[in-house]
Amino acid sequence: MLRPLRHAAAFAALALALAAAPVSPASAASLDGLAVAIENRTVPALCAGARNVALTLASEEARRFTIVAAHPAFLPMLGASDAPAADLLACASEAAPAAAPAEPPVRNTLYEDAGLRLVGVKRPGGLFAAAEVPVRVGDAQPGGYALVELWVTQDGRSEPVLTLETATGLWRMRPLAPEGRGTTSFGAGAVIGPLQDLDEGKGERLRTRIESVVFAPRARTMQLAFVEGGGAAVRLAELDRERLVLEVVFDRPVVGRPFTAIVGDHVTRSVSEIAEIAVRDADAPGWREAPITAFESGLATDLWVGRTAPSRRATSAPDLAIGRFEPR
């Protein structure tokens, strides 16, 4: 059953404020940002697709931050297509990614103009497939969807740049594909909102419970209401063929649990969505770098994850950087 939408007035005001704010070039690093606690909950995995990388971020002050998805430095080396599909290595039959269901997903266009298209997807199977969340645009009647896709049309070409799993709160993002390349891969993503840990830190069970989603096309903003109360606005602040920038604003700080997690896959450096991490520790003069499996924790103003060499898993997927944490 669809739950009633709440907090409409507050979200409308927040969307208008975001739309009115000047869009200055956002950078991944911040010189004087708030430091947040980063904990690495990554666990070993033998099988690609396990979503075993999990980096949680916690702060009882942070209300605003940015996420930047940028093409990897090695993308020009790949040519027009990715590496061959990854060998799943030592996957047990029960751990291997499930085959696509025989029943095709139902796709509905919820909004469309010359440059944007919002698509809601109902699909069978999956960990939380039964929990479809109400999604609406403007005053339209909300419908329940398991996945939301934001498509952008530019230079006569339309491609999805942002997806949201509504039952888990997982966002995946990518810039527009470079000229001469048909598309790039989605890879690691971010779970945004008060986190629940359903399976001792394994990334595939980290989620936030979303009560409703409202899309404001003019502001390019998705407004989230959380089941536990409170909400957030996630705005597409910048997009081009190099990077995508999301601006996230909570209506109040998340207290007593992490407010965001970066999640992805890592089997080996050559089969991974995330292989390396770099953080700028509080008051540090530079960055601290490590393999993702060697990093433990930190109090940092900025975080970068990605790969410095091509992987056979989501080869063209972007690097992710998160920072510019602010208490307002």
pLDDT single digits (tens) 34-90: 999 999 999 998 888 888 999 999 999 999 999 999 999 999 888 776 665 555 556
* pLDDT band per the 50, 70, 90 thresholds, residue 93: low
pTM of the prediction?
0.86
The arithmetic mean of pLDDT across residues 231-245, rounded, is: 98
> pLDDT at residue 311 above 60?
yes
Q: Are 165 and 133 in contact (CB under 8 A)?
A: no
Q: Could you count the other beta carbons within 10 Å of the beta carbon of residue 142? A: 19
User: In degrees rounded to 5, what are phi and psi of residue 19?
Assistant: -65, -35
Number of separate helices (H) and strands (E) present in the chain = 1, 24
Place of tokens 């606690």: 37
**Per-domain boundaries in the chain:** 27-84+179-326
The mean-pLDDT minimum among 25-29, 40-44, 170-174, 209-213 falls in 25-29
> pLDDT at residue 18 above 60?
no
Sign of the Cα torsion 193, 66, 186, 19 reads: positive
Rounded CA Rg of the chain: 19
> pLDDT at residue 98 above 70?
no
* pLDDT band per the 50, 70, 90 thresholds, residue 1: very low
pLDDT, tens digit, 9 for 90 and up, residues 119-147: 999 876 544 455 689 999 988 888 899 99
